[in-house]
Amino acid sequence: MRVTILNRILLVAAIITVSLVGMSLLTNAKEQQQQDTKGQKDQKQGQPQDKNKQKQQPAQKQRQQDQIKPQQQQDRPPGWDQGNKVGWGNGNVPPGQQGRLSKQRQQQLIVQQQQRLTQYRQYLDKQQHLAEQRTAQLQQQRRMAQYRYQQQYLGRMRQQQTRLQSEQHDYSNDPYYYTAPIYRYNRGGSYYETNQYGADQLRQATNNGYDQGFRSGQADRQDRWNANYQGSYAYQDANYGYGGYYVSQADYNYYFREGFRRGYEDGYNSRTQYGSQSNGSYSMLGAILSQIVNLQSLR
């Protein structure tokens, strides 16, 4: 009887122990599950925060750069942060300061110009005698259309000579002498540099040549004379419209003759292959003019 009671007590104790162990395991499993769930929620909540941080970083960096940029630009000329840092003539000049020459260079150009004018005046004086000889020759050949054209040409040359003798040029206020070169061009295998004012003069020389060549060609056709642009006094002189400034006489003569030859061919053949006519004057087509002058930018 006592054994039976003892066995029952041991059985009840075992059942209670098993129950307590099971409850403990169940509690631990629930706690672990709650911790895992909480961790997943925290991880999900953390991802947008990281993305926001990633989005905020470039914005913060840009603000920092914007704050630094004004400090870096202090004491710098306009245009420094754009383009190459090499100026004309391989000078280490910022782009914002490339437009103006030094005082020393300005003075060099002025002295060069004064020497050029002296030589040009002497040339015009010598040409007077040669022009008279050519005029007499045209009269003997009874080339009256060419004679009339040459008289018009010589009249313009006398006006240029008179203006040069009386002119007092204001070099200090002439922008050509303090504006740096922006183009280069090739003549006779050598390169020369010039600014906008010189470039305009080269274009004008070519257009003047075309206009005068057209008129000379027309005159020879009217006189029934064989085509010969090189025999024209205007081609040989090649100074029509040259005021003595901005480009050398040799440069002006070269481009004048380039235009004259093409103008003569058009005038002699009654066509406008190289140019056009407007209000009684003749000028080269823009594309052909650009091809002849062939200015190359230094920038």
Q: For the residues of 14-62, what is the DSSP string, one character each? A: HHHHHHHHHHHHHHHHHHHHHHHHHHHHHHHHHHHHHHHHHHHHHHHHH
pLDDT digits (tens, 9 = 90+) for 122-155: 898 888 888 889 999 999 999 999 999 999 999 9
In a domain, 286, yes or no: yes
Residue at 77 is within a domain:
no
Instruction: Check pLDDT > 50 for residue 82.
Output: no
Residues of the domain holding 227: 100-297
Given this model, what pLDDT does residue 144 score? 97
Q: Is the residue at 245 inside a domain? A: yes
Q: Which of 5-19, 122-136, 254-268 is least confident?
A: 5-19
Report the chain's mean pLDDT, rounded to a whole number. 79
Q: What pTM value is reported for the model? A: 0.67
- Position 59 in a domain: no
Q: What is the pLDDT of residue 164?
A: 87
87 assigned to some structural domain: no
| Structural domains counted in the chain | 1
- Mean predicted confidence (pLDDT) in 66-89: 41
Residues with Cβ within 8 Å of residue 199, at least 6 apart in sequence: 182, 183, 185, 293, 295
Say whether pLDDT at 70 is over 90: no
Q: What is the pLDDT of residue 167?
A: 85
Grade residue 86 by pLDDT with cuts at 50, 70 and 90.
very low
Instruction: Judge whether 222 lies within some domain.
Output: yes
The one-character DSSP state at 97 is G
Residue 53, in any domain of the structure? no
Higher pLDDT, 187 or 7: 187
Residue 123 lies in a domain: yes
